[in-house]
Amino acid sequence: MPNRSAFYQLLLALLCFVSSHVCAQDTRISGSYNSSLEAFLNEVTSTHPVDFYYLDEWIENIQVNGDFRNETLERVINKSLRGSGISLIIYDPTTYVLVNKSMPVQIKGASGRDRSAVVKIGSTSLNPQKKAQLLAGNILDGRDGSPLFGATIYSEEASKGTATDENGFFSIILPAGKQQLKISSVGYQDEWVNVDFQSAGKFQIELYEDLTQLETVVITAKAPDENVKDVTIGKEELNIETIKKIPRFLGEIDVIKSLTTLPGVSTVGEGAAGFNVRGGGVGNNLVHQDGVMVFGSSHLFGFFSGFNPDLVEDVTLYKGAMPPAVGGRTSSVLNVQLKDDASEGLSVKGGVGLISSRLAVESPIGKSDHSIIIGGRLSYVDWILRKSQDQDIKKSSAGFGDTNAKLNLQLGEHDKLTLSGYYSADRFSLASDTTYRWNTTTASAKWDHVFSEQLFGSLMLSTGNFGNQVEDHIGDDQFDYVSDINYSTLNMDVSWILPRNHKVDFGISSLFYTFKPGQLIPGAENVNLQGQTIQDEYANESAMYVGDTWEINDRLSLAYGLRYVNFLNYGPRDVYMYDEGVPKSAQTINDTIRFDSFETIKNYGGLEPRASLRYSAWENGSLKISYNRTQQFVHLVSNTVAVTPIDLWQPSNYYIPPERAHQYSFGVFQNFSNDAIETSAEVFYKESTDMVDFKGGAQLQLNPNIEADLVQGDGQAYGLELLLKKKTGKLTGWISYTYSRSLIKVQGEFPEEQVNNGEYYPTSFDKPHDMTVVFNYQFTKRIGISANFNYSTGRPITVPTSKYRVSPINFVLDYSTRNQYRIPDYHRLDLSLTIGQELKKSQRFKSEFVLGLYNVYGRKNTYSIYFDQQGQAFSLSVLGTVFPSLSYNFYFK
């Protein structure tokens, strides 16, 4: 089974392939020799800045004879080694490794062995100074013993890895001592080997195909104890296998909703678009698909995810410490990583559900290393609308679809070019009358280049569009409305592995925005609608960053970095000037300033320091602490509880400064039972300034002076997140609990620009208690059951508290201060049963049925609260009953 980012494996493989070619010619030998190889190597070591790794007994009978004139060291040694059974590997320009290909195997076999056992390699007597030593060996297919090409071996403790050559052979210099090695290969189960590495040695290990999983991708980009050893705090990862096991609404696998089962991640309501992270709004999350920003990440107002699960490899959410390479949002960065290549050969997978069907094809191109991946989904939801008794809704239709395409071109050993495209569309038509459409389009070209084993990087150019259209071409009120965001990004990222366990990442990025907030075009017959075009806004967000991840020692690691961002709002644009001393409004505009093309309207920027520290104070446990500063220059402006596709994205400009946040996190991480059980407790505190909110009654669409309807305030969020996770065995799953608060204070200069009298009040997504329990139990290889239980405090709401009269309206409701009350608490249990066919490893066609029950005990959870004219409250439960589902998934290889 594939087990982690294929990209990462590819990178390691590339490093291995190039290893014997890098800079070896720098060391040259001149002179006459007739000595033992050992003596020769000792002499070279004393005269050149190179090190050799070998066992004495391997070379005790090997001689160096001959006259050499400016000969490369590599050639001299290889000449001596002819016929000896020893070969030379140039690990890096200063590291030469002699390998005995016939040396005995230390361990063998993987399947069924005791994984907690520690394998001793070498002897301390051979390495009394405990220097770094060579580990070499073979990785084989356990089925037939054939060598595995491109398999990787990685030491978390040393932060080093390498990949096998076409003979399944690998070699790597590792520090002496206990460590855990991860052995992976695409299409095979991961293996973990605990070794006590005392001196140079070799082992052979066999990997086996995963026979129990329908999906061939198991992403475990992390070691079993990475939660403890990784310096990053507040990082959540879900692989697609885990996501698929979580019971889901109508059987539709939802990448986004699965995140809400994790601590610190919530949503304002079932079916609501987006997610909330540590007290931030939906718009405070940056969503990337393969590194390309997407604004619309859901379908049908949020009921379904915008990502095709057959193409997703893994999902990483940074909710605490963010790497300096990413920024632009104050709450989190979510990267949905799609599959990178078709390394498994041709495969077809898909599924049929109640709402949509999907299909994905992965294939190499001919016999080359190139590959192509294409996938798509199409919905058929009209049958639900036709169940309605309302004639208008009966005549309505809705649908969504999305498609991805990815072309990987392997341009030699050092270069790879990836071309990607994504298109997602939603359509909703009411009574064949008004039609709403919204869509997302992205395209990218990414060039990965390996400069050397220590230096590699990528250059990516991407472009995207998020737009929505409304059209009504029937009756007297005909109109068309369009709005768009266009953006193009250039990213360059470089990673540099330096001595003393430093890994330095640096890069630059530049993002150009064109916001088209809205254009209204009245129909010819419309007698009371004026055409209107809100001015475009142009902006550039450029950043440079540098960060270092430093494994100081086994116990201590530090990641620190700095990101500088500059945001430019530029013309052409007319900017309104307002009267001083009164609230901004259309009535207080007193002048207009014209900014020409590319003329700077407003410039914002600043440094974003990032730092995390890990200290492993005891075995299998660690303490972590981090600080983050982030800035956000584009704001999702919404006055509704749940965001909608037509909500406005507003850039910072003359009147709207960027939102800035400082986040402090502290966590305790502890694993048990040989890392089979993870536990963690994290606390965080976040302060934000200039969070965008809105005045009561704000008009956000087609508002030429929207700054008059917006207010900005200071935010405060804090919380405790607990996680207990069992990762192996028949029973797996996790329990997460979060206590958190999210508050905002809007203290405008004038009473009209204040909310709740300038006091702190809870945001719409403030849900103090949030608990999720996810269990998976695998009865047999074919049958498994999953359960998901969620409990959370009801979200805040503003409710009517009294009534009055404004003739001729007899009852007008007067409301509480904003978000003073809460809707009832939420809880729900879901179950699913997966029945797969007998999954023999040689079987080319595999399939499974998934039976689901959503909301098993039919809890009428409040989706919304409505008030009648008298102010009586009614709870609306949209999914207030049991929803059974059946879906069918297949895989063909």
Q: What binding mask, one character per residue, do residues 808-827 give for another protein by CB under 8 A, x or -? A: xxx-xxxxxxxx-x--x---
Given the structure tokens 């309206």, which residue do they identify? 809
Which residues are within 8 A (CB) of 144 and not within 5 positions of it... i.e. 6 or more apart? Answer: none
Q: Under rule CB under 8 A, which residues in 287-306 are in contact with another protein?
A: 301
473 is an interface residue for another protein by CB under 8 A: no
Pairing relationship of beta strands 95-100 and 51-53 according to DSSP bridges: parallel
Nearer CB in complex with another protein: 428/633: 428
Least distance from C-beta 412 to another protein, angstroms?
51
Sheet containing 118-121: order of strands: 118-121, 191-197, 177-184, 152-155, 160-163
Q: Which of residues 420-439 bind another protein (CB under 8 A)?
A: 428, 430, 434, 436
Smallest gap from residue 397 Cβ to another protein (A): 12
Residue 806 lies near another protein (rule: CB under 8 A): yes
Non-local (6+) Cβ contacts of 298 within 8 A are 256, 273, 274, 304, 305, 306
- 272 touches another protein by CB under 8 A: yes
Quick one: CA dihedral 646, 652, 654, 657, positive or negative? positive
Min. distance of Cβ 577 from another protein in angstroms?
A: 20
Piece in contact with another protein (CB under 8 A), picked from 19-27, 142-150, 361-369, 877-885:
877-885
Q: How far is the CB of 299 from another protein (least distance, A)?
A: 14
Q: Is 268 in the site for another protein (CB under 8 A)?
A: yes
Q: Which is nearer to another protein, 390 or 574 (CB)?
A: 390
**Residues 114 to 173: which contact another protein by CB under 8 A?**
none
Distance (Å, whole) CA 455 – CA 559: 18
Quote the distance between the C-alpha of residue 665 and its chain's center.
20
CB 121 within 8 A of CB 76: no
Q: Report the residue from 30, 61, 368, 872 that binds another protein according to the rule CB under 8 A.
A: 872
Angle between helix axes 37-47 and 73-81 (nearest 10 degrees) is 170
Cross-strand bridge partners of residue 832: 786, 852
Contact pattern for another protein over residues 315 through 334, marking x by CB under 8 A: --------------------
Q: Which of residues 734-763 bind another protein (CB under 8 A)?
A: 752, 757
Distance CA 577, CA 551 (A): 54
Q: How far apart are CA 425 and CA 423, in angstroms?
A: 7
With CB under 8 A as the contact rule, the residue among 417, 737, 877, 893 that binds another protein is 877
Q: Are 668 and 537 in contact (CB under 8 A)?
A: no
Q: Does 799 bind another protein (CB under 8 A)?
A: yes
Site for another protein in 523-582 (CB under 8 A): 527-530
Nearer to another protein, 568 or 879 (CB): 879
CB of 399 to another protein, least distance (A): 14
Task: Compare residues 124 and 881 and give the one whose CB is closer to another protein.
Answer: 881
Under rule CB under 8 A, how many of the chain's residues touch another protein? 84
Region 663-722 residues binding another protein, contact defined as CB under 8 A: 694, 696-698, 701-702
Residues whose CB is less than 8 angstroms from the CB of residue 590 and which lie 6 or more positions away in sequence, other chains included: 577, 578, 579
Check residue 855 for interaction with another protein (CB under 8 A): no
Dihedral (CA of 518, 521, 527, 530) sign: positive
Contact set for another protein, span 60-79 (CB under 8 A): none
589 in Cβ contact with 705 (< 8 Å) = yes
Q: Is 34 in the site for another protein (CB under 8 A)?
A: no
Query: Does 878 help bind another protein (rule: CB under 8 A)?
Result: yes
C-beta neighbour count of 759 within 10 angstroms: 12
Using CB under 8 A as the binding rule, the residues of this chain from 498 to 527 that contact another protein are 527
For residues 61 and 872, which CB has a smaller minimum distance to another protein in the complex?
Answer: 872
- Torsion angle, CA of 106/109/115/121, rounded to 10 degrees? 10
Nearer to another protein, 671 or 712 (CB): 712
| In the complex, least distance from residue 627 CB atom to another protein, rounded to whole angstroms | 33
Tokens 């150009």 -> residue: 512
The residue within the footprint of another protein, chosen from 197, 633, 863, 891 (CB under 8 A), is 863
Is 797 a binder of another protein (CB under 8 A)?
Answer: yes
- For residue 575, the minimal CB distance to another protein (Å) is 23
**774 binds another protein, rule: CB under 8 A:** no
CA 377 to CA 406: how far, in whole Å?
15
In this chain, which of 860, 882, 890, 892 binds another protein, going by CB under 8 A? 860
How many whole angstroms separate alpha carbon 43 and alpha carbon 38?
9
Q: How far is the CB of 477 from another protein (least distance, A)?
A: 10
HEC profile for 569-628? EECCEEEEEECCCCCCCHHHEEEEEEECCCCEEEEEEEEEEEEEEEEEEECCEEEEEEEE
Residue 802 in contact with another protein, rule: CB under 8 A: yes
804 is a contact residue toward another protein (CB under 8 A) = yes
Give, as ranges, the residues between 377 and 416 that touch another protein (CB under 8 A): 384-385, 387-391, 393-394, 396
